[in-house]
Amino acid sequence: MPASRSGLSIVEILVVLVCALLLLMLVVPFIQNSRESQRLVSCQNRIRVLASAIQLDTDDRGGRLPPLTENEMPWTAGILPKIPGTESILIQFNDRPIQEQQPIHVPQLLCPNGQEYPVGKNCYIMNGGWGEFRTDDEGLVYEDKTHTIQIDLNEDGEVSEAEELMIRATGTIWRPDPVPSSWARTEIEALDGLSQTIILSETQNAKTWMSLETFNLAFVVGLDRITWGEAPEQFDVTAKSLGPYTINSSRGGKEGHWPSPSSLHPDGVNVLFADGAFRTLSKEIDPLLYLRLMTPGGTAFGEARIEQSTPQLPETIHKNEIEQPIRRDEEGS
């Protein structure tokens, strides 16, 4: 009588292992994609909450967006009373300036992407426009002087009202000095349009919401990355590369020195438009298109309005989505 076989042969074991490995290779990406989809939705829901808070604050200001800072308080602190669930956070404030207080954890200002954040971290910044900044040899950006609308574009030794107006047109929120400069919704709607103007973005490189520094509160673009045309009173500009101001160029960079939209989402960065819609900007977006989406008042200075067959931009904006340059000349970009 032949001996009965017990267990599996080596070949059978190998077959089982290969099948298990193949199954694992199919399941793991699905789980990862599912988790990322959930995180993306959670991030978008958080942006919805912030959009609502910003809208309420804007309504309280007669339709004008909040300033970057006000009375030694950042815009992030200014909208906290409008965000549900922050009541216990607000009672932690005292008479000391906000930047002198101990870091305070605010979950509503964090992108829920699975990261462990330090206490006081901020993951959302607003559109601070174009300005004069310094970039060192390592590509780190510095704010040597306070970022405002007062920039001498023609370098004649003084800042004219026209120059202030033009710089103001490059971003949506500003410091209230020398005058209240943040944009009103009616102004944006009458010029570039609410659906064509970014007001808020994700970031991974702001340090804290408890700050008065521009890079912790806003994404910006340095004027040194932009070439102006012969008529600086118009948006005759070119920009082949935005360098450290490019979307997601700063992912994993040094906090506080990469003032650009950034995220850990693989498809791009979630941004909020002035009409309340949020979309995803690809890191491959044309820099001129990105500059146009930053400017709420570009059409007041010769910038052609983005024309589309539908009133809304697509949910995801890639490099070749819209083929209209910000400048008016016909040179290649």
Q: Tell me the pLDDT tens digit for each residue of 197-206.
A: 999 999 988 9
CB 290 within 8 A of CB 180: no
Query: Is pLDDT of 66 > 60?
Result: yes
Q: Tell me the pLDDT tens digit for each residue of 162-173.
A: 899 999 999 999
Cα diameter, the chain: 108
**HSE on the CB side for 62, CA within 13 Å?**
3
pLDDT score at 333: 35
Domain tally for the chain?
1
- With respect to residue 311, please indicate whether it lies within any of the assigned structural domains: yes
Distance CA 65, CA 293 (A): 17
Could you write out the DSSP letters of every residue in 174-193?
Answer: --SSSS--SPBHHHHHHTT-
Quote the strand ranges of 190-317, DSSP E: 198-202, 218-222, 227-228, 237-238, 269-273, 278-281, 316-317
- With respect to residue 161, please indicate whether it lies within any of the assigned structural domains: yes
pLDDT score at 274: 95
- Fill in the DSSP letter of residue 100: G
Query: Is pLDDT of 85 > 90?
Result: no
- With respect to residue 141, please indicate whether it lies within any of the assigned structural domains: yes
- With respect to residue 27, please indicate whether it lies within any of the assigned structural domains: no
Q: Which of 100-109, 202-211, 321-330 has the lowest mean pLDDT?
A: 321-330
Query: Is pLDDT of 245 > 70?
Result: yes
- With respect to residue 285, please indicate whether it lies within any of the assigned structural domains: yes
Q: What range defines the domain where residue 168 resides?
A: 34-93+103-317
Range with the largest mean pLDDT of 187-201, 224-238, 316-330: 187-201
- With respect to residue 79, please indicate whether it lies within any of the assigned structural domains: yes
Q: Tell me the pLDDT tens digit for each residue of 24-46.
A: 666 555 445 556 566 667 777 88
Q: Residue 84: is it exposed, middle or buried by C-beta count within 10 angstroms (0-12/13-18/19+)?
A: exposed
Query: Is pLDDT of 65 > 60?
Result: yes
**HSE on the CB side for 199, CA within 13 Å?**
32
Distance CA 143, CA 149 (A): 14
Q: What value does the mean pLDDT take over residues 262-286? A: 88
* Assigned token pair, 178: 């020398």
Mean pLDDT score of the chain: 82
- With respect to residue 7, please indicate whether it lies within any of the assigned structural domains: no
Cβ neighbour number for residue 196 with a 10 Å cutoff: 24
180 upstream amide cis, omega within 30 of 0: no
Task: State pTM to two decimals.
Answer: 0.83
Query: Is pLDDT of 69 > 90?
Result: yes
Q: Residue 20: is it exposed, middle or buried by C-beta count within 10 angstroms (0-12/13-18/19+)?
A: exposed
Distance CA 86, CA 174 (A): 25
C-alpha angle 200-321-34 in degrees, rounded to nearest 5 = 65
Instruction: State how beta strands 69-70 and 73-74 pair.
Output: antiparallel
Report the first-to-last Cα separation within the chain, whole angstroms.
85
Provide CB contacts within 8 A for 187, sequence distance 6+. Answer: 296, 297
Q: Tell me the pLDDT tens digit for each residue of 320-332.
A: 554 444 444 433 3
pLDDT score at 332: 37
* pLDDT-based confidence at residue 72 (cuts at 50, 70, 90): confident
- With respect to residue 227, please indicate whether it lies within any of the assigned structural domains: yes
Which of 112, 118, 126, 123 minimizes the C-alpha distance to 74? Answer: 126
Q: What value does the mean pLDDT take over residues 52-62? A: 95
Q: What value does the mean pLDDT take over residues 262-277? A: 88
